Amino acid sequence: MNKQEFIRKVNTEKQSGGVRFNVVQVKNEVLMCWTTGQGERHYEPLFMLKKNQRNEVIRQKIKTYRRWLKSES
């Protein structure tokens, strides 16, 4: 997913009431998570990890998504 697609997705969720956003890794998925004003948590998969992907590559991708989030807030 490129930056414009990611930012568009974040802005769509902001318009729907999303307030706090983050990018997390859970097992073999990288997820965008956000909280609504009512405190409900939502998760949306960004991509699945392959078995042979190195941890450093994953960390760099997650940092990139988080940097994009900071630029939007």
pLDDT in tens, 39-61: 999 999 999 988 777 788 888 99
Centre a 10 Å sphere on the Cβ of residue 34 and count the other Cβ atoms it contains.
20
Sequence letter at residue 64: T
At residue 72, the pLDDT reads 72
pLDDT in tens, 11-24: 999 999 999 999 99
Domain ranges of the chain: 3-67
Percent of the chain that is helix, strand, coil (3-state, to 5): 40, 35, 25
CB 1 within 8 A of CB 47: yes
**Number of residues that this document lists for the chain:** 73
Rounded to two decimals, the pTM is: 0.75
Q: What token pair was written down for 3?
A: 């930056």
pLDDT band at 73 (very low <50, low <70, confident <90, very high): low
